[in-house]
Amino acid sequence: MKILTVLGARPQFIKASVVSYSMRQSGKFEEVLVHTGQHFDANMSEIFFEELSMQKPDYFLDINGGGHGVMTGRMLEKIEKVLLIEKPDAVLVYGDTNSTLAGALAAAKLQLPVAHVEAGLRSFNLAMPEEINRILTDRISHWLFTPTAAASANLHREGVASIEIKEVGDVMYDVALHYGARVNATGRMLAYLGLPPASYVLATIHRAENTDCDQRLEVIVDSLESIALNMPVVWPLHPRTRGALQRIGRLAALSSNIRLTDPLGYLDMVQLEKYAAVIATDSGGIQKESFFYRVPCVTLRNETEWGELVDSGWNRLAPPLSAASVVSAIEEAIGSIGQPVEPYGKGDAAQKIVNAL
């Protein structure tokens, strides 16, 4: 069976690593890997293929930058050309990016079945580009691989046929179990930063709702600078975030207690996540990873797709509307422990996906 997998962003490379491995181990698949280029520099993509032992992409489309329409349209055009050349039996997409939607739409228009990993997630906020991508991709997918019971319930409410919904668990949990065990407190990032475990806040910001809104970004910076007066803050900067900080004139003047880094490889990032006192983020994937490593999380958004983590006390929402409220949420999260829940399966999601395909 020939599977054409469309990837473009670093969380997708992480998720695909375990599914691609399971496909190779089965001996029943030929996988063609298409990298759209949505995340294109070495630390945002290339290092992930090396660290996660993934095959190099068969096609690199080199599409990045521009508005959502420009980016998605160019991806749609180029992916369609690849599909006509490769003639796969099915197309596999992950998550909620422009690459996800473009891959699914190109396949559907050519009458090729689509498999969507991480289907059924909903923030119920249509102002988010990711929410639109999720809904449209789910609507045209043949296999909807959901990570949780809540995601499956969302699809049932939307009228999706039960036979199309495959509740497999979360492939990110597979990854965390496999690679998390390889990372300990003696790794290079903590040594480089000179930080002992549980002594720092890890921050990651990249979503357009925060980087494109000067007021929200100012609140985030003010909050992190306030926290940094008492506890170091480590902040790997997404290229979009670095540009936004330069735009509002806050990059050069950041507190010396905020340790800025370039985007990190997967294993370096896992070490920082695993040994943080608390994680402040707007990333969906990092919300889950913080839970996998039992680190409290504060989500700097109005809502989250991972409501079960808020309900169980491992995560808390802190919309960046005022610095005082964000600082309070981060301080309250330090040392907190949530309920003993296991909503993401048993770490065998990748094998379940391969079996279903």
**Per-residue tokens: 37:** 């280029």
The active-site residue out of 35, 39, 116, 206 is 206
b/e 252-286 (16+ beta carbons within 10 angstroms → b): eebeeebbebebbbbbbbbbbbbbbbbbbbbbbbb
> Is 206 designated active site?
yes
* Cβ proximity of 96 and 137 under 8 Å: yes
Burial class (CB in 10 A: 0-12, 13-18, 19+), 293: middle
Distance CA 299, CA 206 (A): 12
Give the number of other Cβ atoms within 10 Å of residue 320's Cβ.
25
**Per-residue tokens: 173:** 């949990």
- For the chain, how big is the Rg over CA atoms in Å? 20
Helices (H) and strands (E) in the chain, counts: 16, 13
Distance CA 219, CA 123 (A): 22
**Per-residue tokens: 55:** 């095959």
What is residue 201's three-state secondary structure? Answer: strand
Catalytic site positions? 206
